[in-house]
Structure 1
Amino acid sequence: MPDGQIPQDSLREDLLEDRPIGPAMLRGWRRRCPCCGSGPLLRGYLKVRESCPVCGEALHHQRADDGPAYLTILIVGHLMAPIILWAFVKWRPDPLILASVFSVGTVALSLYLLPRLKGALVAVQWAKRMHGFGGRS
């Protein structure tokens, strides 16, 4: 067999191996490798590593793109809008105070969620064998 080729039996075993999505997403949420759960997934705030330093799983296949940002906007908007309305009706604060407090809350929640949602999205891709994650691990 030529160098660099994977035996068909080995490839079939890898494709049949179960990759449960729940534990993978939890590992991604924790910003850990979706395969082993030990190695760090991110190199910086949002930059995904080329491969896991612990298990060697290739992570460069991921295509999270704008998905984490869209999910962050969706979640933060759906959480903050009703809370702003409730706070305004309950206490009638000065609009400048309301805007200041909720701006800080919105930014803080967005910064918290963004890398975690990116990790979860990369983990979903890994578990579903999308974008090149289907080969040997």
Structure 2
Amino acid sequence: MIASTTPAPSKFVASLRGLIGRCPNCGQGRLLRNYLKPVEACSACGEAYGHLRADDAPPWMTILIVGHVVIPALLSVEQTYEPPTWVHMAVWPLLSLLMTLVLLPRCKGLVLGLLWSTGAPGSER
């Protein structure tokens, strides 16, 4: 951690910054360099993030959110409109895939921001 004169952001602010893919410390640098790969350190403030491990939390959160959106929508459409099976087979897997691809990096950023704000060591020891 690089010493600074500004106070550390709250857990809520750090998590929100992570959610939008920004450095939880300063909010300026990027948190992820590729789709899901965290940067080693922030380009703006120098805070290290390469040691943090989100493990299974982001996929778990993504599955939870997608499932709670898609399944009720599917059931509602089926009861209201009764579309043919081919419509269901075309719409719901595509919607699930798109939601997963959009949410997964945001969930990872949220988890990394929360881990950083709690001072988690990021190692398995």
TM-score, normalising length from structure 2? 0.89
Task: Tell me, yes or no, if structure 1 residue 60 matches structure 2 residue 50.
Answer: yes
Q: Secondary structure at the residue paired with 1:126?
A: helix
State the secondary structure of the residue aligned to 2:18: helix
Any gaps of 5 or more consecutive residues in structure 2?
Answer: none
Which whole-Å CA distance do the structure 2 matches of 1:118 and 1:128 have between them? 15
Query: Shift in Å at residue 18 of structure 1?
Result: 4.7
Structure 1 runs not aligned, ≥5 long: 1-12, 133-137
Partner of 1:75: 65
Counterparts of 2:17 and 2:107 in 1: how far apart (Å)? 11
Question: Structure 1 segments of 4 or more deviating over 3 A?
Answer: none
Q: Choose which of 7, 14, 17 in structure 2 pairs with 1:27.
A: 17
Asked if 1:96 corresponds to 2:86, the answer is yes
Letter in 1 for 2:67: G
Query: Which has the larger Rg?
Result: 1
Deviations 1:3-31 (A, max 9, x none): xxxxxxxxxx99xx554111111100110
| Displacement of 1:97 | 0.9
Any idea what SS the aligned residue of 2:105 has?
helix
How many residues align structurally?
Answer: 119
Q: CA RMSD in A?
A: 1.8
Match of 2:115 in 1: 125
Which residue in the other structure is 2:39 paired with?
49
Read off the aligned partner of 1:120 and give its amino acid letter. Answer: L
Check the 8 A contact 1:62/1:122 in 2, yes or no.
Answer: yes
